[in-house]
Amino acid sequence: MIKEKYGELDSIQYLNDLNEAVFQSVIRDFGEPLEDHIKERTNSIRNGISGQTIKFVLNVEIDTAKLYTDSCLIIKDFRFNFNIYCYDSKLNPTYYVFFVDNQLDIYGTIYPTYSKRYAKQVKFAIRQIIGKDPQYILECAHLPNTILYVKDDNIFVYRVLQKEIYQLNDYVAKFKDSKYFYVRQ
């Protein structure tokens, strides 16, 4: 299912469709399509990703009823299923574009979090994961403190603050009963 979703991704078209995502976000935020805001957001995103290496990061959810199966990850059929991570030649993250429920959410040079410590650690985590040259990177908003990635057809969970790596099934087995395993949005 992950492989198929990435197989369907036309990265050039996805980047071109960012204009539509910006347009929708301005209407959502202001109730009407204000040209100045559309231009400002479009230019900000275009300038942020221009000249950078881009990784498309698939948004997934977790089905808590299927934790012990190989199909506990869910991919909704949205037009904007992928976040965008940009990074430089040293693999340092430089720009992010996030989508939530098919809507443009947050974009910019800073990873969206309330914790300075986490922001610093997540940059390190992203750099480490990109350095592993994964097949795919996944984002699950309901699994806090994690970034998921696929390498050699196995799904791994990187715990950001702890700098620990688990295969998904091992992560579920170890942490499913912990207080912060699954956060409802």
- Residue 57 phi/psi, 5-degree rounding, is -115, 115
pTM, full prediction: 0.91
Q: Are 156 and 2 spatial neighbours (Cβ–Cβ below 8 Å)?
A: no
Mean pLDDT of 125-144: 94
What are 11-48's pLDDT values in tens digits?
999 999 999 999 999 999 999 989 999 999 999 999 99
Instruction: Evaluate the CA torsion angle 93, 97, 99, 102 in order and state its sign.
Output: negative
What are 64-104's pLDDT values in tens digits?
777 766 678 999 889 999 999 999 999 999 999 999 989 99
- Assigned token pair, 181: 């395993």
- Tell me how far apart the alpha carbons of residues 80 and 64 are, in angstroms, rounded to a whole number: 24
What is the reported pLDDT for 20? 94
Between 50 and 173, whose confidence is greater? 50
What are 106-131's pLDDT values in tens digits?
999 998 888 889 989 999 999 999 99
- Tell me how far apart the alpha carbons of residues 35 and 10 are, in angstroms, rounded to a whole number: 27
Q: Are 82 and 98 spatial neighbours (Cβ–Cβ below 8 Å)?
A: no
CB proximity list for 181: less than 8 A, separation 6 or greater: 143, 175
Q: Are 86 and 7 spatial neighbours (Cβ–Cβ below 8 Å)?
A: no
Pairing relationship of beta strands 53-59 and 136-139 according to DSSP bridges = parallel
- Assigned token pair, 98: 């996030």
Mean pLDDT of 125-143: 95
What is the reported pLDDT for 175? 83
What is the reported pLDDT for 98? 96
- Tell me how far apart the alpha carbons of residues 61 and 46 are, in angstroms, rounded to a whole number: 28
pLDDT confidence band for 183 (50 / 70 / 90): low
Whether residue 164 is predicted with pLDDT greater than 90 in this model: the reply is yes
